[in-house]
Amino acid sequence: MRKSILLFIVIATISQCFADVTSDSLLKKVEVREIKLQFYSGDKDCRERFYAQFAMTPFVEQFFDLSTGSWYATRIVYQKEIMRKAREKGFDTTSLARCFGKIPARPMDEIAQIPIAAYCATQDQEKIWVILCVWEYASTLNGKPLTTGHIKGWAFSAKNQKQLCFMSCM
């Protein structure tokens, strides 16, 4: 009986989190599109070029107030929306899903990472997925969850999901 009540509370809480997240107008603003990309895997300037192209843009900054409270539920909803948009636009969602699988995230992690964009690019005739996430420490201040204020980005080979580049603002 006690386990049933606890399970009901957990399901109700998760359902409410999804309802809160999906009503968020930012969810509609996640991006999936083809881009031009100029960096080379292993290039010592890869991170700097990657950062210059993606970080601290108005697009990214609009996501800097997402709450880290229930961040994992938010991540799932945002990732599903990115996958939906990719499918709708005819992109290879199988490789994109595999690339998402290379970005570590578990509900108990100390870093809240929420995906906001997936970009498809071609470099040296190879398809590449670029995934951007906003992030923050999954913590509270004065009893309130922190909000996102940082950016991370990964570039993966669509063919084998090998990580080609990674950048973070910290």
Q: What is the mean pLDDT of the chain?
A: 85
What per-residue confidence (pLDDT) applies to 52? 85
Q: Three-state SS string across 1-16, please?
A: CHHHHHHHHHHHHHHH
What per-residue confidence (pLDDT) applies to 40? 62
CA angle 69, 8, 79 (to 5 degrees): 40
Whether 130 contacts 54, CB under 8 Å:
yes
Each residue's pLDDT, cut to its tens digit, for the chain (170 residues) gives 555 444 443 344 444 444 444 447 889 999 999 998 876 656 667 788 888 888 889 999 999 989 999 999 999 999 999 999 999 999 999 999 999 999 988 888 999 999 999 999 988 888 999 999 999 999 989 999 999 999 999 999 999 999 998 998 86
What per-residue confidence (pLDDT) applies to 5? 46
What per-residue confidence (pLDDT) applies to 23? 43
Backbone φ and ψ for 155, nearest 5 degrees, come out as -120, 125
What per-residue confidence (pLDDT) applies to 123? 83
What span, in angstroms and rounded, lies between the C-alpha atoms of 18 and 50? 32
Whether 130 contacts 155, CB under 8 Å:
yes
